[in-house]
Amino acid sequence: MDISTALILAIVVSLLSFGVAAYFYIWVKKQPSSNKTVHMVGELIQKGASTFLRREYALLARFAGVIAILILLFLPQPIWSGDFKDNIAMAVSYIFGTALSALAGKIGITIATIANMKAAEAATKGIKPSFLAGFRGGAVMGMAVVGSSLLGVSLVYAITRDASAMLGFSFGASSLALFAKAGGGIYTKTADVSADLVGKVELGIPEDDPRNPAVIADNVGDNVGDVAGMGADLFDSNVASMVAALVMAITLDKGAGNFTMMVFVYAALGLLASSIGVITARMGKSGDPSNALNMSTYVTTALYAGATALVTWIFKFEWRIWGAMIAGLLVGTIIGIASDYFTNDNKKPVHYVAKASESGPAFTILSGVSYGFLSVLPALAGIAVSALVAYNLTAQLNPGNPVYGMFGISMAAVGMLSIVGMIISNDAYGPIVDNARGLVEMGNLGDKALEITDSLDSAGNTVKAVTKGFAIGAAGLTIIALLGTFMSEVNVAASERGLAGIENFDILNPTVFFGLLVGAAIPAVFSAMLMLGVDRNAQRMVGEIHRQFNEIPGLKEGKEDAMPEYDKCIDIATTGALKELIPAGLMAIAATIVVGFVGGVNAVGGFLAGNIISGLLLALFMSNSGGLWDNAKKYVEAGNHGGKGSNAHKSAVVGDTVGDPFKDTAGPSINTQVTVVSLVSSIMATLFLTIKIFG
């Protein structure tokens, strides 16, 4: 096999995944839906989500246009001092990356707002058809997103064969994902927090009661945050892992193409395994949706491990690189199991937090925070072990060249993200069945259907926590690999200019330590800015909900002619999210550039190391503690510890409200922030090497 054959394989498998996505899309659309209320509310959700996405993308298109011009003028080096074709290639690749990332979000929104209605009505027939409608809706997004990422990277490499162009493509995907995830997260948690505080805590009405003016905005938020935002996020992670590996592979290959070929072959086999996994996914006799989702993931993992081992043996690929990749794959599974333990409502941590809620919200918060911090260790230890194993396995290929070891870490990231098609399918399933549960309640489809969608929703919450942990873990390995990419880009630029390169970053060097401290602080500031955005926006929406309940006659009592003004809450969430989404991302990018021009490449190395460690810790903590509080609330609502309306329930709702911006706004946005600053560092490596105040 040669590099051309590997590229053809990657492109063919990408197109095959689009075929699977199209089949599922048609299958979901054909499912029956006849309830007029479900259809009406479903259309309101669809319209609200599409409106937000259109306004968000219009804003981000202007931002991307400005960045593309700056790239054209200054990167990889000023256009007047280098080869202008390199600048054009990077700028065009950047735009291509943003376009595909935006497309990932659009595909997700389109199918999710159809599948939620189908899953709701299927619940009247039983749990299996409802599960299948939700899962296959998610699988459309999974197949389309990963197919787009593999196809995009393959085309950019095939056309340019240039590392800078691929970094530009990855930066385009990452920058749009950063703002899409932040904007969607602020929108969804503005509506969710407001609806819960006024509806559940103050008035004691059900979660998806149509009297609540924020209920449609809440359902819209599930789509723009957990579907469009997470789709762009995992598109970004998948692209970044492949690009990090390819940039180092190009350096190591020196024209031979062996390492580059392996990246494409292994990535294509991962998408193929995910395609088979989603096609064969079914709910077993137990009728447990969590088991069905987990089993499909394990089957896909086993298929991938077996297929890559077979290909490695047949084509005599390097077994050490296969071992590094499998180390990443296994750690991804371990992170998923750890996240499941701390967030699943069948496990002790959720039961303990639910029990603590009987004593008041302070104990809900204390216990949830404690378990959230405990959950960080298995994931971080797993990332550390996989990076250590991968580095030492591949470093032996050439002990004198540290790039081999860093390439091994990048292949561990490729391995962890190899089954990302299945992971996205599982993740998108969560908000689809969450919406379906609301539609069942608003459409009065019966207690049995509500019980079924509650069960599906609970599994969706656990799976979302698992996939968020997986995404964060994969980002961790990817960012470590991107640190190697940054070193590689610096050394290439240094060699061209007759300057000394870098082999490591000494934390006793004051310039490196300066960068380390600043980098460690950025994720905390970034998180605070996003959560303050949710806080400001939610306070405005709570005021609007109070106004409607006070001014619309009969609304509180549920009279038929009293209709809430849903569009007012949708507009507050949309306007506020668009206002708040840019500053936090710009702050992180600006901090990277300032550190680079102050301390040069050594300060940036420290900055990235601090950003990685701090970012991973905070992201894992917030994701898991938020998922834990959410399922503790649902465990109480299932009738435990006093059930709905009890003191434990009110405390659990407060915990869930605190956890909402943790798990759906700040937590999952941090891993994208870390990826973005790493890519900014790599594409600006030449400038940081030559223009600096200290270092």
Mean pLDDT of the chain: 87
> For residue 200, what is the DSSP state?
I
Tokens of 468: 């968020």
- Is 695 within the bounds of a domain? no
Which H or E run contains 11?
A: helix 3-30
Distance CA 298, CA 277 (A): 9
List % helix, strand, coil for the chain (3-state, nearest 5). Answer: 85, 0, 15
What single-letter amino acid sits at 121? Answer: E
- Is 431 within the bounds of a domain? yes
- For the cut 70, the answer to whether the pLDDT of residue 464 exceeds it is no
- For the cut 80, the answer to whether the pLDDT of residue 525 exceeds it is yes
- Is 106 within the bounds of a domain? yes
pLDDT at 7: 92
- Is 257 within the bounds of a domain? yes
- Is 501 within the bounds of a domain? yes
Distance CA 226, CA 233 (A): 10
- For the cut 90, the answer to whether the pLDDT of residue 69 exceeds it is yes
Length of the chain in residues, anyone?
695
The residue-averaged pLDDT of 656-685 equals: 87
Q: What is the 3-state secondary structure (H, E, C) of 382-450?
A: HHHHHHHHHHHHHHCCCCCCHHHHHHHHHHHHHHHCCCHHHHHHHHHHHHHHHHHHHHHHHCCCCHHHH
Distance CA 191, CA 182 (A): 15
- Is 450 within the bounds of a domain? yes
pLDDT at 169: 93
- For the cut 90, the answer to whether the pLDDT of residue 329 exceeds it is no
> Which one, of 541, 581, 434, 493, lies nearest residue 120 by Cα?
434
The CA distances from residue 683 to 245, 408, 428, 489, in Å, are: 15, 21, 32, 8
Give residue 332's pLDDT band: very low, low, confident or very high (50, 70, 90): confident
The residue-averaged pLDDT of 368-384 equals: 91
pLDDT at 310: 95
pLDDT at 454: 83
- For the cut 70, the answer to whether the pLDDT of residue 85 exceeds it is yes
Which pLDDT tens digit goes with each residue over 188-247?
A: 888 888 887 887 777 777 767 778 888 888 888 878 877 877 777 778 888 988 998 898
- Phi, psi values for residue 550, rounded to 5°: -80, -30
Tokens of 121: 């009505």
Tokens of 460: 């969706």
The residue-averaged pLDDT of 654-664 equals: 88
Place of tokens 């799976």: 463
pLDDT at 579: 84
**What sign results for the dihedral spanned by CA atoms 76, 80, 85, 89?**
positive
Sorted by sequence, the CB contacts under 8 Å of residue 498 that are 6+ apart come out as: none
Least confident piece of the model among 84-93, 156-165, 347-356, 470-479: 470-479
> Which one, of 215, 225, 214, lies nearest residue 572 by Cα?
214
pLDDT at 664: 82
> Which one, of 336, 338, 351, 346, lies nearest residue 427 by Cα?
336
Cis previous bond, 210, omega within 30: no
The CA distances from residue 317 to 300, 395, 409, 605, in Å, are: 22, 16, 17, 32
Tokens of 492: 């290439």
Whole domain around residue 439: which residue ranges?
Answer: 3-690
pLDDT at 214: 85
Residue 499, sorted as left (phi over 0), alpha (psi -120 to 50) or beta, turns out to be beta
The residue-averaged pLDDT of 377-398 equals: 89
- For the cut 80, the answer to whether the pLDDT of residue 462 exceeds it is no
pLDDT at 255: 62
- For the cut 80, the answer to whether the pLDDT of residue 309 exceeds it is yes
Q: What is the 3-state secondary structure (H, E, C) of 528-589?
A: HHHHHHHHHHHHHHHHHHHHHHHHCCCCCCCCCCCCCCHHHHHHHHHHHHHHHHHHHHHHHH
pLDDT at 154: 94
The residue-averaged pLDDT of 51-73 equals: 89
- For the cut 90, the answer to whether the pLDDT of residue 368 exceeds it is yes
Sorted by sequence, the CB contacts under 8 Å of residue 319 that are 6+ apart come out as: 312
Which pLDDT tens digit goes with each residue over 579-613?
A: 887 888 899 999 999 999 999 999 999 999 999 99
pLDDT at 200: 73
Give residue 530's pLDDT band: very low, low, confident or very high (50, 70, 90): very high
Which H or E run contains 160?
A: helix 127-160
- For the cut 90, the answer to whether the pLDDT of residue 23 exceeds it is yes
Distance CA 553, CA 548 (A): 9
pLDDT at 469: 66
pTM, two decimal places: 0.87
Which pLDDT tens digit goes with each residue over 175-190?
A: 888 888 888 888 888 8
Tell me the DSSP string of 572-623: HHHHHHHHHHHHHHHHHHHHHHHHHHHHHHHHHHHHHHHHHHHHHHHHHHHH
Place of tokens 């639910």: 354
Sorted by sequence, the CB contacts under 8 Å of residue 693 that are 6+ apart come out as: 597, 598, 599
pLDDT at 349: 93
pLDDT at 695: 61
- Phi, psi values for residue 675, rounded to 5°: -60, -45
> For residue 509, what is the DSSP state?
S
Least confident piece of the model among 116-125, 459-468, 538-547: 459-468
pLDDT at 611: 93
Least confident piece of the model among 629-633, 665-669, 674-678: 665-669
- For the cut 80, the answer to whether the pLDDT of residue 147 exceeds it is yes
- For the cut 90, the answer to whether the pLDDT of residue 506 exceeds it is no
Share of the chain above pLDDT 90, in %: 30
Contact between 432 and 138 (Cβ < 8 Å): yes
The residue-averaged pLDDT of 451-462 equals: 80
- Helices marked H in 196-287 — which ranges? 215-223, 230-253, 258-280
Sorted by sequence, the CB contacts under 8 Å of residue 68 that are 6+ apart come out as: 91, 94, 95
Q: How many domains does the structure of the chain reveal?
A: 1
pLDDT at 187: 86
Q: How many other β-carbons are positioned within 10 Å of the β-carbon of residue 450? A: 17
